Chain A
Amino acid sequence: MPQSAEKVLDHAPLFREPEYTDMLARKKTEFECMPADAKVQEISDWTKSWEYREKNLARNALVVNPAKACQPLGAVFAAAGFEKTMSFVHGSQGCVAYYRSHLSRHFKEPSSAVSSSMTEDAAVFGGLNNMIDGLANTYSLYQPKMIAVSTTCMAEVIGDDLHSFIENSRKKNSIPEDFSVPFAHTPAFVGSHVDGYDNMMKGILESFWKGKTRAPGAQINIIPGFDGFVVGNNRELKRILELMGVDYKILSDAADQYDTPADGEFRMYDGGTRIEDIEPALNAKATISLQQWCTRKTLDYCQESGQDTASFHYPLGVGATDELLMKISELSGKEIPAEIEKERGRLIDAMADSQAHLHGKKYAIYGDPDFVYAMARFVMETGGEPTHCLATNGTAKWDEQMKELLASSPFGAKAQVWAGKDLWHLRSLLATEPTDFIIGSSYAKYLERDLGIPLIRLTFPIFDRHHHHRFPVWGYQGGLRVLTTLLDKVFDVLDRETINPGVTDFSYDLTR
């Protein structure tokens, strides 16, 4: 009997005890009818071949292990960045359970959103009544300052008209006449969560700006984009902007919403862009997007509204931070303070200290388009080579952007860009052209297992490591943290490979 009260064995050691391994071996031989081990090995080897790679890359219908989610997730995230705002997703209810779970698993935080719970009758007759009833309930129970409506694919397929439904709900007194209910159609079968973010942001701005006259001022609006590191990043961003003395507003700031304290009280809402700050944001001199691929429509709208616009690709690393700061300085007329310049110097100092350990390291990088761009750029700044750059939600235009970036540095000469590919493609790519490291999300732990390539978790979603998102990766301080993360993995791998006493431990060095 393997289990004991003295030392309670968890599943991992418990099922390695002979009682269980024998039992499972019997199950396999007697009842499972699984293929022979030799056959499994043969197929396993084949899946790592060039032949398989070609076959795998040729598929054009099946998607396996994609690194993207659907639009409403981005919409829920964008809405979470506004003060006391409840996301109301119109359509089937299971979707909302999924978005909430997905966000909670990453942030280790509550994630509140409601559904209009449409069922078969609503599929036939439309979801108007679900909207009318739903808004009334959400308003009474959760007392939001704003309800942000997005859609599941069910509501999109049957063609529910959000604008008229919401106006109808007002007439039926579900919500007060002047209560803010911005909305966005967020079909799951178009684009990905980054587009859902874009649509919701545009929907919110439109609902406050439409028909208003702009009185240009000095403020700079900043839209961060969909970001699993929002907690650390937005706080770092605010620190920098305050040091510079810039007149700014962040549009959608979910940093506090996804980082509420444990002090005996559950805060359904915390922080966020104040509702009264949304309308005056129309008067801003400029709107800056920190992630171009999350804000294509929104920035067009800002431009049409008369603002200057600029967009970046996730300000991670030296050059990316330099550019952002210079742009903000240019737009605001504020100098970049000496203190920040010193921080830059410290990051460069750290990179110089460690350059020998990162120079020439090869990486596979995947994630959202802007993240991959930023990460590849920073890796090149450290002398590393971004061998495979993959974004499942990357477009042909992103592919071009990436190639331009990679052509700008000798460290990008051998890089390959994979727009629209998934992590099963990446498996083939890495099996045939391996790298030293993978940079991505938790999903790549299966690639780490199958191919033995260490994974560095630096982008959403991170389910199996805790609290990384609470620390920034943006700015020079963030760069320092990313640098340290890369180095920790390099050194851990080196130690693991040299830890064998009397065999490899001559390289198990105390000082590195």
Chain B
Amino acid sequence: MSLDYKNDGARMEELITEVLTAYPEKFSKRRKKHLNVAKGTEEMGDEGRPLTECDVKSNIKSVPGVMTIRGCAYAGSKGVVWGPIKDMVHISHGPVGCGQYSWSQRRNYYIGKTGIDTFVTMQFTSDFQERDIVFGGDKKLEKVIDEINGLFPLARGISIQSECPIGLIGDDIEAVSKKKAKESGKTIVPVRCEGFRGVSQSLGHHLANDAVRDWVFDNKGAATQTDLSGFVASPYDVNVIGDYNIGGDAWASRILLEEIGLRVVGNWSGDATLAEIERAPKAKLNLIHCYRSMNYICRHMEEKYGVAWMEYNFFGPSQIEASLRKIAKHFGPAIEEKAETVIAKYKPLVDAVKAKYAPRLTGKKVMLYVGGLRPRHVITAYEDLGMEIVGTGYEFAHGDDYQRTGHYVKEGTLIYDDVTGYELEKFIEKIRPDLVGSGIKEKYPVQKMGIPFRQMHSWDYSGPYHGYDGFAIFARDMDLAINNPVWGLMKAPWKKSEPAPTLAAAE
């Protein structure tokens, strides 16, 4: 479904001017570059052309003291890329906090016996003390690795996720990794993802990708790797890259890829084993979902191993359908035929979901503020339900993300990069959308304003949202968020000036 709507661009421009007045002048100027309104392009609607231009400055330092919603490089590496690899132990190397706050929070579902053969929902830390800062932590790290190997013998490898102090005190975690890999025969991966590096999570993704390249593919540690000699390649081997299996997303995607006749030999990195990472260069095609966090390794695999890569989008039936066709085209008529069969198979489900939920959601206005791919990727899923996107923005996007966003958003949409707590609150207050999709830090302020909210990082403890099976859950969740009776109870009746909004009755 291609919804035809426009947002009130002039009004959005006014809003930008209004929020900027709250800043001291110097910072008003700096923040101005991050806020804009999507402009229509001349070739609007043409095949392959963007619908709009979303021209904002991005991937630059956050302004101090403004309540940025961003995280850090450690969050990008440990939290996003490495953390979900299930049969490795990921050490939060440094003081206790980083590992503690990110422990079990990303809902990277996996199958395994936690603590025995898999370790995702655990917090391993070197718990730095003052003496480690003063005398250096390399000796301690060696001991930590030895103790992991002693107590968790089935761990296939270890990654060392650097917290801020590591890079400041001059530790040589690379030397420790090489030494210990040699001694133990296990893959040991040092990652220089100290939180002060870069300007957001984004550099952490990049550093984590580089660490895969150097310490897994190129095997700098020279430890014995999984024996892949028995692997028999097929012409239909693909890796899914940048699906972290939040609430089972990767599984709801894998089922479709298998149904159209492909073989998913690796899933990066939700529910992944180290073997799936090591084997990746043997695949025929890399399918990349979260472009922002893993495009680096795809480019590398293309250059070095000749593995092509392709972006796709499994949010909502319109995009799933288009993506399945695009992927199938790469493999030729046999797969294309199967793709059509799969699309047809799920058509009744899609129609039933739309028939049930679209009448309850059509015309509802949505504001988004999320991370990697979602500020654009989920837009069509909302539109499939008749909902309209009035504003969107990214925590840590680069220019190429905003360029891609132009293919999704309509003219007049408010665009905000690295939005501050103040700006987001004001935008929401003025626009008063019917739904906001953002993170845990934004959830409660928005709900108190009487506006329905869904966490779009963790799927608000629901999911999957990928694939056809996920679309049904997505639609159900947006409906339950918007049409819950609680939003009509906010005002005490003796204070009520206008009637409560009409709500569709729960079914």
A interface residues with partner B (beta carbon < 8 Å)? 1-6, 8-11, 14-15, 19-20, 23-24, 27-28, 31-35, 39-40, 43-44, 47, 52, 55-56, 59-66, 68-70, 72-73, 88, 91-95, 97-102, 104-105, 108-120, 122-123, 130-131, 133-138, 140-142, 152-154, 157-158, 187-190, 192, 260-268, 424, 427, 443, 446, 450
Tell me the bound Cα distance from A374 to B123 in angstroms: 27
State the Cβ distance, A244 to closest chain B Cβ, in Å.
33
Q: Is the C-beta of B491 less than 8 angstroms from some C-beta in chain A?
A: yes
Which residue of the partner chain, among A104, A114, A260, contacts B66 with CB atoms under 8 Å?
A114
Of B75, B100, B168, B199, the contact of A66 (CB 8 Å cutoff): B100
Residues of B within 8 A of A55 (CB): 150-151
B247 within 8 A of A: yes
Residues of B within 8 A of A95 (CB): 72, 97-98, 195
Q: A5-B356, A91-B164 are in contact. Are A27 and B254 (CB under 8 A)?
A: yes
What are 16 A-B residue pairs whose CB atoms fall within 8 Å in the complex?
A14-B464, A63-B127, A66-B96, A68-B100, A70-B95, A88-B65, A93-B195, A101-B105, A101-B441, A102-B100, A110-B445, A119-B61, A153-B165, A157-B133, A262-B450, A424-B115
Assess whether B124 is in contact with A64, with CB atoms less than 8 Å apart: yes
Residues of B within 8 A of A35 (CB): 117, 154
Contact of A72 with B67 in the complex, beta carbons under 8 Å: no
Q: A19-B255, A69-B101 are in contact. Are A115 and B68 (CB under 8 A)?
A: yes
Report chain A residues within 8 Å CB of B41.
none
Tell me the complex Cα distance, A212–B291, Å.
59
Note all chain B residues with C-beta closer than 8 A to A56. 151
B448 and A267: CB pair below 8 A?
yes
Q: Is the CB of B472 within 8 A of A62?
A: no
| Contact status B448-A262, CB under 8 Å | yes
Q: Is the CB of A5 within 8 A of B61?
A: no
- Chain B residue nearest to A5 (CB atoms) is B352
Q: Is the CB of B63 within 8 A of A133?
A: yes
Residues in B with CB closer than 8 Å to A60 are: 143
CA distance A4 to B486 in the complex (A): 27
Chain B's interface size range is: 35 or more
Cβ of B425 within 8 Å of any chain A Cβ, yes or no, is yes
Q: Does B128 contact A (CB under 8 A)?
A: yes
CB of B22 to closest CB in A, whole Å: 6
Residues of B within 8 A of A8 (CB): 472-473, 475-476
Q: Which residues of B contact A59 (CB under 8 A)?
A: 147, 150-151
Residue in B71, B147, B148 whose CB lies within 8 Å of A97: B71
Known contacts A14-B248, A110-B444, A115-B68: does B96 contact A188 (CB below 8 Å)? Answer: yes
Is B15's beta carbon under 8 Å from chain A?
no
Bound CA–CA A70/B94 (angstroms): 11
Please judge, given known A-B contacts A3-B349, A70-B95, A141-B66, whether A11 and B472 are in contact too, CB under 8 Å.
no
Residues of B within 8 A of A109 (CB): 444
With contacts A8-B472, A11-B463, A189-B129 known, is A69 near B100, CB below 8 A? yes
Q: Are B87 and A117 in contact, with the CB atoms below 8 A?
A: no
Residues from chain B with Cβ under 8 Å of A110 in the complex: 441, 444-445, 448
Chain A residue nearest in CB terms to B165: A157
Are B168 and A154 in contact (CB-based, < 8 A)? Answer: yes
Contact B101 A68 (CB under 8 A): no
Q: Are B62 and A189 in contact (CB under 8 A)?
A: no
In the complex, identify which listed stretch (B272-280, B329-337, B373-381) lies at the interface while the others stay far away: B272-280
CB nearest neighbor in B for A6: B352
Instruction: Tell me which of B97, B151, B491 has the highest count of chain A C-beta atoms within 10 A of its own C-beta.
Output: B97
B491 near A264 with CB under 8 A, answer yes
B304: Cβ under 8 A from any A Cβ: no
A43 CB, min distance to chain B CBs, angstroms: 5
Interface centre among B73, B109, B168, B279 (most CB of A within 10 A): B168
Q: Is the CB of A20 within 8 A of B251?
A: yes
Residues A39 and B154 in contact, CB atoms below 8 Å apart: yes
Residues in chain A near residue B447, CB distance under 8 A: 262
Contact of A99 among B101, B469, B472 (CB under 8 A): B101
Which of A63, A98, A187, A262 contacts B102, CB < 8 Å?
A98
Given contacts A23-B258, A63-B96, contact A93 B346 (CB under 8 A): no
A137 contacts B251, C-beta separation under 8 Å: no
Q: How far is the CB of B281 from chain A (nearest CB, A)?
A: 14
> Contact check: which of B117, B449, B463 meets A265 at CB < 8 Å?
B449
Q: Which residues of chain A have C-beta atoms less than 8 A from B252's C-beta? A: 14
Instruction: Looking at the assembled complex, report how far the CB atom of B114 sits from the nearest CB atom of chain A, in whole angstroms.
Output: 7
Bound-complex Cα distance A98 to B94 (A): 15
Residue of chain A at shortest CB distance from B69: A97
Pair B127/A66 contact, Cβ less than 8 Å = yes
Write out, one digit per residue, whether chain B residues 35-66 have a CB within 8 A of any chain A CB (1) or not (0): 00000000000000000000000000111111
| With A97-B71, A260-B448 as contacts: A10 and B473 at CB distance below 8 Å | yes
Is B421 engaged at the interface, CB distance under 8 Å to the other chain?
yes
Contact A119 B441 (CB under 8 A): no
**B400 close to A (CB within 8 Å):** no
Given contacts A66-B127, A69-B97, contact A43 B441 (CB under 8 A): no
B185 vs chain A, min Cβ distance (A): 15
B489 to chain A, nearest CB (A): 9
Whether A187 contacts B450 by the Cβ 8 Å rule is: no
Contact of B422 among A62, A133, A142 (CB under 8 A): A142
Q: Find out whether the CB atom of B65 lies under 8 angstroms from the CB atom of A114.
A: yes
Q: How far is the CA of A123 from the CA of B64 in the complex (A)?
A: 14
Add 14 more A-B contacts to A63-B125, A154-B168 (CB < 8 A): A8-B473, A10-B473, A27-B254, A33-B274, A43-B116, A61-B140, A63-B126, A98-B97, A99-B101, A102-B101, A105-B105, A120-B196, A152-B164, A190-B129
- B445 in contact with A266 (CB, 8 Å): yes
Task: Write out the residue numbers on chain B whose beta carbons fall within 8 Å of the beta carbon of A135.
Answer: 65
Q: In the complex, which residues of chain B have a beta carbon less than 8 angstroms from the beta carbon of A263? A: 448, 450, 490-492
Q: Does the CB pair A104–B444 fall under 8 Å?
A: yes
Given A11-B247, A117-B63, A141-B22, A153 contacting B276 (CB threshold 8 A) = no
A254 to chain B, nearest CB (A): 15
List the 9 closest pairs (A to B, CB-CB), nearest first. A94-B72, A134-B65, A70-B97, A134-B64, A98-B101, A5-B352, A61-B143, A188-B95, A137-B65
Q: How far is the CB of B39 from chain A (nearest CB, A)?
A: 28
B122 at the interface (CB under 8 A from A): yes
Q: Which residues of A contact B102 (CB under 8 A)?
A: 98
| B251 near A23: Cβ-Cβ < 8 Å | yes
Say yes or no: is B153 at the interface (Cβ < 8 Å to chain A). yes
CB distance from B84 to the nearest CB of A (A): 14
Q: Are A154 and B449 in contact (CB under 8 A)?
A: no
Cross-chain contact B116 with A62 (CB below 8 angstroms)? no
Chain A CB within 8 A of B319 CB: no
CB neighbours of B422 from chain A (8 A): 141-142
How far is it, in angstroms, between the C-alpha of A190 and the C-alpha of B148 when the chains are bound? 24
Task: Decide yes or no whether B407 CB sits under 8 A from chain A.
Answer: no
Chain A contacts for B4, CB-based, 8 A: none
